Chains A and B, each alone.
Chain A
Amino acid sequence: MIQLDNVTKRFPGGQEALSGLSLSIDSGEMVFVTGHSGAGKSTLLRLIALIERPTSGQVIVNGQNTRRVKRRRIPKYRRHIGMVFQDHKLLDDRPVFDNVALPLIISGVGRRDAARKVRAALDQVGLLHKEKQNPETLSAGEQQRVGIARAIVTRPRLLIADEPTGNLDPDLSLEVMRIFRRFNEVGVTLLIASHDIALIDKLGCRRIELDEGRLRNGYKDDDEWLPG
């Protein structure tokens, strides 16, 4: 599903966020990216979402080399990837329903079809009864769940999440992770950046640890990861 070959990302200042990183994530996997802040977690996700382009190396997502995706085609490319953000990035000027419906409207899905899909997505995160509320009136955990509903409403095969539990307490974090787990069970590939090691260990998923833009020493990507 995701393959990186010798990817380097250098920013204009000369600082290197990723240095010759290679890794591979299979379809249907649920993988965590960990590491200190500045280790390159976000950059990795941003390369996959085509918010950034690699300085060198290849990023292949869903069989598509991102290098070949023209600027004009980026919107269409992004529609096939669900994205969850630490600050959830909801729009406060419209109700929950409209927020979740946004990706469908962007893709030009018909109104009736969209309504059905939005309700299904809200149902999956347990917020069907809050569709008319404004995101501002919801708790942090609920807001993040709305963000997740928006990410999965188009049924993408790949979901990437950047510190989705960064602003949540342990209980809410676990709840969010359980939701992710359920998507994974129905075949969605997930790549989640997080530094909440305790939580990740509890879930027992594969972990990619980054350190200064490389895979952590002695931690090779193709190692069989055995849940403790």
Chain B
Amino acid sequence: MAAWLTGHASSSIGALGRIARHPLSSFMIILVIAVTLALPAAINLVVKNARTLSAGWDNALDFAVFLKLTVAEDEAAALGRLLEQRADIDAVQFVSSTQALIDFREQSGFGAALDQLPDNPLPHTLVVRPGPGNTSASLVLLQEELANLPEAEYVQVDTEWVQRFHAILDIVRQAIAIGAALLGIAIVVIIGNTIRLDIENRREEIEVTKLIGASNAFVRRPFLWSGFWYGLLGGLLALGLVWYGLYLLGGPVARLAGLYQGNVSITSMSLVEAAAVVAIGVVLGLAGSWLTTARHMRRIEPR
């Protein structure tokens, strides 16, 4: 057992040594693996961030009830208080036309243009937040009731696009899964091919060791370790690439956050996700070398 362990230790170090002996070609292979791993990881991260960003909008299922221009401010406020009494309504925020104009002036950047208007074109608005007990059916009813109020001009529900956005994210997520599977196969092929060349280069050594009694498992060992190292180093480099990308995005995202006056920040990979990227690299590396050695080791017999 101890000998088996030291055997593995020495062949793993030996495999690492062979990778180090050809730094340029080894680095190219590791880089290809890293890019292939980093691509789906990065896209996945983008989707994850989009999700957290839009999670805030998810419960923004408010109805904006725009009142008729004929409705006076105190009437509108009273209507708001009345609606707030309803069981299916959580809260009602009254936005007067004056307040709406101030907000619009601030946010739209049309300040100068608005000053040209003779009078305020905006109506009073009630922002109605439905209670948590509502079902989607009762929400439709509530929307109809609000629209049928004599004071109401128009009711806007601004949630459809949020749902569409989520549907798109789901599709992207699916696409990543499919793409990642294809890229995974690519990694297995890349590593397999590298190991195959390695086997051809060491054909004589394999023959000699088999001649003096080495089993297929013994001959296979260093190549499996090579696959392991390629996968591990590729996975680690992939993490580096993703993190470097996040670092580069840090500045623009801060600017975007400034524009939206929001709390926009990038979520990085969690420890589990980072570990998963490396683990996938290792598993694919081992798979590539396993498949290749299984095919070629039997073929190479002493002559």
Contact = CB atoms under 8 A, between A and B. Distances in A.
B302 interface: yes
B3 A89 contact: no
B218 interface: yes
B90 interface: no
Contact of A89 (B7, B208, B216, B218): B208
B214 A111 contact: no
Contact of A76 (B10, B213, B301): B213
Nearest to A153: B212
B211 A83 contact: yes
Interface string A143-176: 0000000110000000000000000000000000
Interface in A56-92: 75-79, 83, 89-91
Given A51-B303, A103-B212, A111-B3, 19 more contacts: A49-B211, A51-B211, A51-B302, A75-B214, A75-B215, A78-B211, A78-B212, A78-B213, A83-B212, A89-B208, A91-B205, A91-B208, A93-B205, A107-B213, A108-B4, A109-B3, A110-B2, A111-B6, A150-B212
A22 to B, nearest CB: 26
A23 B35 CA distance: 64
B209 interface: yes
A37 B30 CA distance: 50
B211 A110 contact: no
A111 B2 CA distance: 9
B210 interface: yes
A51 B302 CA distance: 7
A83 B208 CA distance: 11
A81 to B, nearest CB: 8
Q: Which interface class (under 10, 10 to 19, 20 to 34, 35 or more) fits B?
A: 20 to 34
Nearest to B210: A75
B205 A103 contact: no
A95 to B, nearest CB: 14
A106 B3 contact: no
Contacts of B208: 89-91
17 contacts: A49-B211, A51-B211, A76-B213, A76-B215, A78-B212, A78-B213, A79-B212, A83-B211, A90-B208, A91-B204, A103-B213, A106-B213, A106-B218, A110-B2, A110-B3, A110-B6, A111-B3
**From DSSP, what is the main secondary structure of chain B's interface residues?**
helix
A56 to B, nearest CB: 22
- Measured as residues with beta carbon below 8 angstroms from the partner, the interface class of chain A is 20 to 34
B55 to A, nearest CB: 57
A153 B272 CA distance: 49
Nearest to A79: B213
Closest 6 CB pairs of A and B: A79-B213, A78-B213, A75-B215, A108-B3, A106-B214, A89-B208
B20 to A, nearest CB: 14
Nearest to A109: B3
Contacts of A151: 212
A203 interface: no
Interface string B194-228: 00000000001100111111111010000000000
B212 A105 contact: no
Contacts of A93: 205
A93 B202 CA distance: 10
Nearest to B18: A93
Contacts of B214: 75, 106
A148 B2 CA distance: 28
Contacts of B204: 91
A150 B214 CA distance: 14
A106 B212 contact: yes
B2 A102 contact: no
A110 B3 CA distance: 5
A106 B208 CA distance: 12
Contacts of A105: 7, 10
A102 B303 CA distance: 19
A91 to B, nearest CB: 6
Contacts of B303: 51
Contacts of B210: 75
B294 to A, nearest CB: 14
